[in-house]
Amino acid sequence: MVRDSHGFVVTGPDLLALASERPWPIERPPYALETSVPGVFAAGDVRLDSMKRVASAVGEGAMSIYLVHRYLATI
């Protein structure tokens, strides 16, 4: 899993910025909270650029469920 220099997990479009270091392994772009492992999502404080607030983590967790269903529909 790709992390920044502080150990935060890089997700979504930020992964494409690191394409020279570790290219995105599938054809479609990563979903918003998707990690460098397709189908694995991160939410809350572990994510790079997250708001570091409980309410934000809860919202991202709910969003992750939607993205997991979207991912599963494509495989």
pLDDT of residue 19: 67
What is the spatial distance between Cα 58 and Cα 3, in angstroms, rounded to a whole number?
21
What is the spatial distance between Cα 21 and Cα 8, in angstroms, rounded to a whole number?
16
Helix (H, G, I), strand (E, B) or coil at 45: helix
Q: How many CA atoms lie within 13 A of 52 on its CB side?
A: 3
Which pTM value belongs to this model? 0.82
Residue type, 16: L
Q: Please determine, for residue 69, whether its predicted confidence score (pLDDT) is greater than 70.
A: yes
| pLDDT per position as a tens digit, 4-45 | 889 999 999 999 887 677 788 889 999 999 999 999 999 998
